C-alpha cells in the first residue's frame, strides 16, 4: 500500500517512463519509497532472521528475500552487511536456511542479506522451462536481448534498488560497510559485481564460482540468451576472468572449490582461469581446493565461517 501511495505522486507519463526504463541509472527510480513487508521473524543465534517481501520497480514483480540481523544490531549501532548471492534454481531461502552464515555473523555483529536469484512470474515465454536460464537463473546481469532485456535487471536490483531500499527502511543496517559473497552462479555474481563496482564492497569471496562464464556451457547459454551471440563485448563485461586485470585497486579474494564437485570436473567453474588471470595482473586471489567436497550446501556450511571471517576482516577494520 505504501508503494501505491507513492505512485500517486507520479504523473501517468512519468510512471510509464519509469516502468519501461531499460537503463536503471535514473536516480529518480530509487527515490521511490520501497516498503518491505515482514512475512515472518525467526530467532537464530541470538539475532533475528526476517523473511521479507517487496515490490521491485526495477524488476516489475514482487520479490522475496531474507535478512539476518545480529543481536548487536540497532539503529544507534548499525551492523555492517554481507550480501550472499545464491546459485542456480535457488531463492533467498537456501543460504539463510542451509548456509549457516548466521553462526559467525552473530558473533561478529554482521548482518546478512539473502536476495532471490531472478525476477519471478513475469510471464515471459519459456522462462520456467530450464533450470539454468530464466527463473532462478538471472546470472546477476542486466539483460539487453529481447524478451529478457529491460526485465531481467538483476545487476541493478542487487547493486542499487535492493540495498538502497533496505538501508533506508532498516536503520539497523550500515550501508557504508558492505561486503559480498556467493555460491556457483552467485559466486560469479559476487566476483563480477565487486569487480564492476570498485569501492562499493569492502571485500569479496566465493564458493565454487562460475569464474569464467564466457568459456563454459552455463555461461554461454546465459549470455547468449541475455545479451545475444553477437554482443561478445557484453560477455566480457560480466566475466570475472576478463575483468580482474582492469580492476584499479588491490584485491584479497577468497575462493573455495571442492575437488569432488562434478561441475568443477565438467569445466563449468574454471577457477584456474580466474586464478591465472589474477596472477598475471598482479592481483591477490586465494583459491583453496578442498579435497573431496562437492557443490552442495554441505560444502558451503563447512567453510561458511571462513567466508564470514574474511568479510569481517574488512567490514570491522
DSSP-derived 3-state class of residue 307? helix
With a cut of 80, say whether residue 300 has pLDDT above it: yes
Domain containing 297 equals 34-315
Asked if residue 181 belongs to a domain, the reply is yes
Residue 57 cell numbers, joined: 520497480
pLDDT in tens, 82-98: 999 999 999 999 999 99
Instruction: Tell me, yes or no, if 261 is annotated catalytic.
Output: yes
Active-site entry in 44, 155, 184, 205: 184
- Dist. CA 155–CA 193, nearest whole Å: 8
Asked if residue 285 belongs to a domain, the reply is yes
Asked if residue 29 belongs to a domain, the reply is no
Say which CATH number the domain at 157 has.
3.40.50.1820
**Contacts of 65 by beta carbon, 8 Å cutoff, 6+ apart:** 52, 54, 92, 113, 114, 115, 116, 162
Segment (H or E) for 180: strand 173-182
Active-site entry in 116, 142, 256, 261: 261
Q: Evaluate whether 89 touches 136 at the Cβ level (below 8 Å).
A: yes
pLDDT band at 201 (very low <50, low <70, confident <90, very high): very high
Segment (H or E) for 275: helix 271-281
User: In the prediction, which pLDDT does 20 show?
Assistant: 43
What DSSP line would sit under 95-152, residue for residue? Answer: HHHHS-THHHHHHHT-EEEE--SS------TTTTSBTTBBTTB-TTSB--STTTTTT-
Asked if residue 272 belongs to a domain, the reply is yes
Instruction: Tell me, yes or no, if 184 is annotated catalytic.
Output: yes
User: In the prediction, which pLDDT does 33 show?
Assistant: 55
With a cut of 60, say whether residue 228 has pLDDT above it: yes
pLDDT in tens, 233-244: 999 999 999 999
Instruction: Tell me, yes or no, if 76 is annotated catalytic.
Output: no
Asked if residue 45 belongs to a domain, the reply is yes
Asked if residue 14 belongs to a domain, the reply is no
- Dist. CA 79–CA 105, nearest whole Å: 10
Active-site entry in 188, 295, 307, 310: 295
pTM of the predicted protein model: 0.90
pLDDT band at 141 (very low <50, low <70, confident <90, very high): very high
- The number of folded domains in the chain is 1
How does the average pLDDT of the chain come out, rounded?
A: 91
- Dist. CA 175–CA 22, nearest whole Å: 26
- Dist. CA 236–CA 81, nearest whole Å: 28
With a cut of 90, say whether residue 315 has pLDDT above it: yes
- Dist. CA 165–CA 177, nearest whole Å: 15
Amino acid at each position: 500500500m505504501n508503494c501505491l501511495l507513492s505512485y500517486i505522486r507520479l504523473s501517468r507519463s512519468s510512471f510509464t517512463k519509469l516502468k519501461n526504463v531499460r537503463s536503471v541509472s535514473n536516480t529518480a527510480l530509487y527515490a521511490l519509497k520501497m516498503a518491505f513487508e515482514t512475512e515472518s521473524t525467526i530467532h537464530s543465534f541470538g539475532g533475528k532472521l526476517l523473511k521479507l517481501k517487496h515490490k521491485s520497480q526495477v524488476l516489475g514483480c514482487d520479490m522475496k528475500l531474507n535478512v539476518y540481523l545480529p543481536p548487536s544490531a540497532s539503529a544507534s549501532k548499525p551492523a555492517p552487511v554481507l550480501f550472499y548471492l545464491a546459485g542456480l534454481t535457488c531463492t533467498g531461502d537456501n543460504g539463510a536456511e542451509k548456509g549457516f552464515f548466521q553462526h559467525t555473523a552473530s558473533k561478529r555483529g554482521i548482518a546478512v542479506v539473502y536476495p532471490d536469484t531472478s525476477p519471478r512470474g513475469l510471464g515471459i515465454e519459456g522462462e520456467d522451462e530450464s533450470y539454468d536460464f530464466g527463473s532462478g537463473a538471472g546470472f546477476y546481469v542486466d539483460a539487453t536481448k529481447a524478451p529478457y532485456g529491460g526485465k531481467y535487471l538483476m545487476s541493478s536490483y542487487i547493486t542499487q534498488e535492493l540495498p538502497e531500499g533496505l538501508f533506508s527502511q532498516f536503520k539497523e543496517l550500515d550501508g557504508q560497510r558492505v561486503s559480498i559473497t556467493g555460491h556457483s552462479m552467485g559466486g560469479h555474481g559476487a566476483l563480477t559485481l565487486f569487480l564492476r563496482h570498485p569501492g562499493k564492497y569492502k571485500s569479496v569471496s566465493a564458493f565454487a564460482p562460475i569464474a569464467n562464464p564466457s568459456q563454459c556451457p552455463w555461461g554461454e547459454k546465459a549470455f547468449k540468451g541475455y545479451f545475444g551471440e553477437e554482443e561478445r563485448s557484453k560477455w566480457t563485461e560480466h566475466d570475472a576472468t576478463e575483468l580482474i586485470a582492469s580492476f584499479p585497486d588491490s584485491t584479497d579474494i577468497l575462493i573455495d572449490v571442492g575437488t569432488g564437485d562434478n561441475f568443477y570436473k565438467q569445466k563449468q567453474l574454471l577457477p584456474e582461469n580466474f586464478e591465472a588471470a589474477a596472477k598475471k595482473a598482479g592481483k591477490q586471489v586465494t583459491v583453496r581446493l578442498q579435497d573431496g567436497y562437492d557443490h552442495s550446501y554441505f560444502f558451503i556450511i563447512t567453510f561458511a565461517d571462513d567466508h564470514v571471517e574474511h568479510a569481517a576482516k574488512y567490514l570491522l577494520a
